[in-house]
Structure 1
């Protein structure tokens, strides 16, 4: 702990020094000091030369002449000097003064040029933030040849060096400033990313962006897409509910994303060929960092999604100095964790613990084949991963790091470096660079079921809020990421049935096109699919223990609509019909559209 604290203090000092040396304000201060020093040295140097040449008069009588001669150095005009050797102070001043002039010209001409270039840009991407996630995002966009304007609070010179410079314009200031966002061309931008963990500041940036977009004439038909980083579940719920109340004509569409949650999904997709949450072998998660906690939740959700409640609980050993309390909080917030995972907590000293020696108490003879190392301290994570994956134990070890290191590149599957002795020692070790892989929510896998289920939930919450319900009355009125599994399952079932419904009438889903054709069901199609939807809903209810009752009773599992479709009231039939008519809108919200198969006549 002492070593880790010392490293943090050293990094803090380095960051402060870097900010002092590369910040534009600091350079302007240094330029001003250099200019004052140049004048003083030039005055002193000229006076020494006058004394050496025995020029008559006192220092006071010659001061204005000496000052005028000194100022001439800033415009490359040397003063009139006696025929003597140049003094040392004047030698220094004649180089220091032009240097200050050149920097002042660059500050006056180059930086405004960057702002002008950003202000005139259109169709570009604006990234607000200066942390590792923002820099990784800028590097990714730049590699894809996307024009980027980075709005950050730290020094321009350092950031340009980190993100590569070419194709990236860096503006320095407060990202929550409307003037700075306007200078960044937010009103004509394609997307706006607001990165960093500061919830209040991110909200201020979004508010300013909304004002700028509205002033630029953006509207519901051409809104600015704003992606905001938010990792706090409680804050996410509150902000998500506020978004549902926004009018469709709003100039900004806001999407929240959690880099750790996105990273956990991407990681499990990568390891799927070797390990899957539906298996029975115990797994180890070392380090309940933000990423580690999201990984545990995602493992539980994927197991529940694949097996339901019939697959038993997966044995998981969690290693963290506060494992018990963190796991308890996870179980209380996400019931699926307790339902699908049999978690054993290990709180021993990290350095005294061998991850490859861990066993689950309820599976003492089972061999652990998969270990995830998720410590926030990259040095600790790497050390434990290397110690765990060495022979003779043959198990898959995945270590989470901020960004890929030279060692990680050498051990990456398929790399040319992974052909020598390192391959024999660490063939089962893989690196997952979270900041690089999970910096952009658009990198999420194309999961139609997930997207459709979320769209269904969004529509449900919007309707409930419009009817006057509040969070205290309905526990399902939360963000999709925080929705209890019992409600998620219903949405998944409904989402799975969408493709079935479309096939019944000769249609299918497709990714949204640039200019999609308008689609609407015919009256006969609405009637047919409404019947199908009611039968699907009724089968689902009966399978979960519900039965018919004249009055709905959630405790006794009674519902008056568990009856044949033809016996339903007109009001209930209209609810089913409305759900069918909403399918194109639901899919559009998730980035999909409905297309009809060509009829034989049309194909001919």
Structure 2
């Protein structure tokens, strides 16, 4: 990993080797010194000889002041014993000042990453950041002075402060917050993480800072995202909140997309309406929507949980698109009761999402009715037991357990979620993707093709300049809603959703056009009768009144799609005051 090791204790193998070498030298010095004094002072008692011998370690022994022929063994000891003493003094000084040197070095670090917390999420994230070549400073949540001589793994820094919370501005300043590139708040307490994130975001900045706070409650996470996105103007720091289970569920389908079975949608069973179970169900629906955009075949999902009916109702309320994409059949009760009454369908894909990891693993290994799918069809959510996957991994040389002919897949949520790139895919980024997808659908509906409009391509193929334009549009949602006296609210529980009236759509369309013109002009675009992306010319770079009807309608479409875009992310528009 890049970075200097100034002020850092040597790594453990080097430390142990040095101690072994100097310990051996010290022992030999005692033996050689005693034997040498025995020859040099034959008339003295053994206690006198031992006393004179030990004095060699304090850089001198009085009998040697008289000079004379000195035995070879004693000659060796009178140099090696002081060397051991010098090493001991250096080691003591290093241990005494190592912590302060690490603090000083961290304070002066530049473009580094700060990870606050000392649990599994924090340690996993720090490890993956180091593996990506980042310089990492770790700050324990409620730190105490570290045990001397116990360095942090790798060459990263560990800051400690007696009874000091990671959210303390002094601790953040010591961590080099003014010059850091990013900060991750990953303690086990939501309030602490939020306080750390807010304290970091409010610091005077010399460089742009991205701040990410872990929130274990998905509804609170959604509410905090809404409040930040709802700002009319955002601070210099980029702030976002993330949930480990939701990130892991999103990452689950990155490399294993949902595929049709027998020419139709696969039959899916989700065991456990936990945070991960609910998030996995939503991601399953998103996957199938991309696979079947016309909604010709609903994805059948059996949700098994003691409160499956309530969970299914809450999910379809929070994410209205679920009703259009999948058919959720809730089964209240446990899997055992369901099997006793006859399993409703042989599943093609099973997701075992219990928070109790032992129960999840036991269910996967003892319920043969779940083994009918193909490779990777039985996904088991694990956390601290995720290392067990090596015992089943067919590609692992030390595999000791059968993986049910490839059907079993142990999925570690913490490792999957602690992907810096995935965490960095914040709410603005996700909304920008949906905005682009909605734009593509709308333009195709009007008969346009990618030949005439180069923006009609998938997000991953979109030029970075156009991606940034979509991000700017998403980032401006809060300002637009404030103009109407509205705000974002998580779709949690009953509530009155504000329906945009025609005059409000017109008003927001004008604002969106003005924002777009300002953004394009700032990047060098100019007005022209015909569009030319290479020369940065566009016919819409004019006032709203000068736009033709087709250009105005594009802005109207973008605003009409806004409630659906926000609902896709779990939000709704609510009226808070009259504009």
Both structures adopt the same fold (TM-score exceeding 0.5): yes
Deviations 1:57-104 (A, max 9, x none): xxxxxxxxxxxxxxxxxxx9xxxxxxxxxxxxxxxxxxxxxxxx9999
Q: Does 1:297 align with 2:302?
A: no
Indicate if the aligned counterparts of 1:138 and 1:163 stay in contact, CA closer than 8 A: no
Q: Which residue of 1 aligns with 2:134?
A: 146
The alpha carbon displacement at 1:569 in A equals 5.3
The alpha carbon displacement at 1:187 in A equals 0.8
Q: Which residue of 2 aligns with 1:462?
A: 478
SS in 2 for 1:269: coil
SS in 1 for 2:165: coil
Q: Which residue of 1 aligns with 2:155?
A: 166
Indicate if the aligned counterparts of 1:283 and 1:317 stay in contact, CA closer than 8 A: yes
How far apart are the structure 2 equivalents of 1:160 and 1:300? 52
CA 1:209–1:238 in 2, change beyond 3 Å: closer, same or farther?
closer
Q: Which residue of 1 aligns with 2:245?
A: 260
The alpha carbon displacement at 1:327 in A equals 1.9
Residue from 313, 327, 332 that aligns with 1:342: 327
Normalized against structure 2, the TM-score is what?
0.58
Structure 1 segments unaligned to the other structure (5+ residues): 1-75, 77-100, 361-365, 472-476, 488-516, 534-567, 583-604
The alpha carbon displacement at 1:125 in A equals 0.4
How far apart are the structure 2 equivalents of 1:108 and 1:379? 44
Indicate if the aligned counterparts of 2:210 and 2:238 stay in contact, CA closer than 8 A: yes
Q: Does 1:236 align with 2:228?
A: no
Indicate if the aligned counterparts of 1:151 and 1:171 stay in contact, CA closer than 8 A: yes
How far apart are the structure 2 equivalents of 1:415 and 1:126? 33
Q: Does 1:285 align with 2:270?
A: yes
Deviations 1:3-47 (A, max 9, x none): xxxxxxxxxxxxxxxxxxxxxxxxxxxxxxxxxxxxxxxxxxxxx
Indicate if the aligned counterparts of 1:278 and 1:307 stay in contact, CA closer than 8 A: no
Q: Which residue of 1 aligns with 2:231?
A: 245
Q: Which residue of 1 aligns with 2:379?
A: 398
Residue from 334, 346, 369 that aligns with 2:348: 369
The alpha carbon displacement at 1:518 in A equals 4.5
Q: Which residue of 1 aligns with 2:528?
A: 523
Indicate if the aligned counterparts of 1:281 and 1:367 stay in contact, CA closer than 8 A: no
Deviations 1:380-412 (A, max 9, x none): 111112224699745411111115644301323
SS in 1 for 2:106: helix
Q: Which residue of 1 aligns with 2:183?
A: 192
Structure 2 segments unaligned to the other structure (5+ residues): 1-57, 59-88, 438-469, 500-521, 559-579
Indicate if the aligned counterparts of 1:359 and 1:368 stay in contact, CA closer than 8 A: no
Q: Which residue of 2 aligns with 1:442?
A: 421
CA 1:426–1:314 in 2, change beyond 3 Å: closer, same or farther?
same
Deviations 1:186-242 (A, max 9, x none): 111111112246443333212321343x1xx42xxx421112223533553454344
SS in 1 for 2:200: helix
How far apart are the structure 1 equivalents of 2:418 and 2:334? 32
Indicate if the aligned counterparts of 2:248 and 2:413 stay in contact, CA closer than 8 A: yes
CA 1:301–1:245 in 2, change beyond 3 Å: closer, same or farther?
same
CA 1:182–1:574 in 2, change beyond 3 Å: closer, same or farther?
farther
Q: Does 1:422 align with 2:402?
A: yes
How far apart are the structure 1 equivalents of 2:170 and 2:391? 45
Between Structure 1 and Structure 2, how many residues are aligned?
401
How far apart are the structure 2 equivalents of 1:144 and 1:335? 38
CA 1:334–1:272 in 2, change beyond 3 Å: closer, same or farther?
same
SS in 2 for 1:335: coil
Q: Does 1:410 align with 2:391?
A: yes
Indicate if the aligned counterparts of 2:221 and 2:243 stay in contact, CA closer than 8 A: no
Indicate if the aligned counterparts of 2:258 and 2:288 stay in contact, CA closer than 8 A: no
Q: Does 1:180 align with 2:171?
A: yes
SS in 1 for 2:254: helix
CA 1:226–1:572 in 2, change beyond 3 Å: closer, same or farther?
farther
Deviations 1:523-562 (A, max 9, x none): 33469999999xxxxxxxxxxxxxxxxxxxxxxxxxxxxx
SS in 2 for 1:205: helix
How far apart are the structure 2 equivalents of 1:209 and 1:349? 44
How far apart are the structure 2 equivalents of 1:238 and 1:416? 45
The alpha carbon displacement at 1:244 in A equals 4.4
The alpha carbon displacement at 1:322 in A equals 2.1
CA-atom RMSD, angstroms? 4.8
SS in 1 for 2:123: helix
CA 1:439–1:339 in 2, change beyond 3 Å: closer, same or farther?
same
> Which gives a bigger RCO, structure 1 or 2 (Cα 8 Å, sep 6+)?
2
Indicate if the aligned counterparts of 1:229 and 1:259 stay in contact, CA closer than 8 A: yes
CA 1:520–1:413 in 2, change beyond 3 Å: closer, same or farther?
farther
CA 1:125–1:246 in 2, change beyond 3 Å: closer, same or farther?
farther
Residue from 313, 316, 327 that aligns with 2:312: 327
Deviations 1:239-265 (A, max 9, x none): 4344443646x3311123232222112
Deviations 1:155-193 (A, max 9, x none): 675999897343242435311100000000111111111
How far apart are the structure 2 equivalents of 1:527 and 1:412? 53
- 5 Å-filtered alignment, 1:493-572, equals 518-525=523-530, 570=546
Indicate if the aligned counterparts of 1:388 and 1:397 stay in contact, CA closer than 8 A: no
CA 1:390–1:310 in 2, change beyond 3 Å: closer, same or farther?
closer
Q: Does 1:387 align with 2:366?
A: yes
CA 1:159–1:105 in 2, change beyond 3 Å: closer, same or farther?
closer
Q: Which residue of 1 aligns with 2:104?
A: 116
CA 1:411–1:270 in 2, change beyond 3 Å: closer, same or farther?
farther
SS in 1 for 2:114: strand
Indicate if the aligned counterparts of 1:530 and 1:573 stay in contact, CA closer than 8 A: no
Deviations 1:500-522 (A, max 9, x none): xxxxxxxxxxxxxxxxx945254
How far apart are the structure 2 equivalents of 1:202 and 1:111? 25
Normalized against structure 1, the TM-score is what?
0.56
- 5 Å-filtered alignment, 1:563-602, equals 570=546, 576=552
